[in-house]
Structure 1
């Protein structure tokens, strides 16, 4: 993802070795990440610091792909961006050779890790199991037949159990659109269908999704009896 012309030109040498997609907007980038697989994400946006931080956090919730962020000189948010999920943060101006080395190192590490990974470690919350690579959901080892948005919703909540996500945050991260229309009802209907599927597996399963009145949803954290 790149809105910086100099940076894009400085990386043109990589085109000889790999396929590069340049997103035209933040929404375009998020849409492609939901549908396509990449070996590395490069963020070079001339935007406010908060926007960059939100984008990094959003992307990290969607994918585990290595991420490099290029910041303007004297940026004060480098540490925050690393903690939000970036793998490397480079301060511009930065030599093309340095960017290229970071790209090479992260792609090499990522591809080796993927080739060596034999089993996927699921996210576990109580009896709920979520398998990000297979995009499967299980309750007490039984498959829950979820569709894409139901999976993305559960994965979002299970990544940070107990954290409350607002309707606006859920809509933006799951639907990957900026909130518009009656998003509360849209999300409610999706959650209702998902709860019915969980209930068919176990009458108590639906209660792992907790509604926070007029705010949003979270995944309940409790001890199984």
Structure 2
């Protein structure tokens, strides 16, 4: 098995050294960037398995770097933030981050989150185990085998977890899923993040399907979400 390669972008050399020492004991190869611009260059050059971005960096902060990386790559991203504030966490998720860790953090926690993300990336989504082939609705086709979504005759690009979440809902029209159920079924038991991740992904799915003349994912207040055409 090839060694896991992780790119850490942080302008604090002490933080990078602590991470380096712990990674070396865990057989994780570390690549370091001092700012957001460097991080983007290193993603292309080094093709890391996971990218860890500090929010506060010179030249380009972690949020902007996350946005730019997401334009080209689906590499998993973990945000490091010194602020335990909802705004920072949600903004990172909305920009395409997969998880976040709040400073101060333990290297052990960071490694646990990295490995959890990599476990989720390895197998095909469990939502595909129970259903395959196209799910066809009025003006919306979800082809599970091809991992394609056709909306109003146009092919729409989805990030992997957005697609998996849409399939999980669409394969059981009318069924109500709590956020916790969706996290468990799409992200897996070992997900360290919070249920707000679901809200962020639902928002992105709705935006991608905004050409539909109807809402297909409905909020069930106090519970979660359900899929339904014409509800």
TM-score (norm 1): 0.47
Structure showing the higher helix proportion among its residues: 1
TM-score (norm 2): 0.46
Structure showing the higher strand proportion among its residues: 2
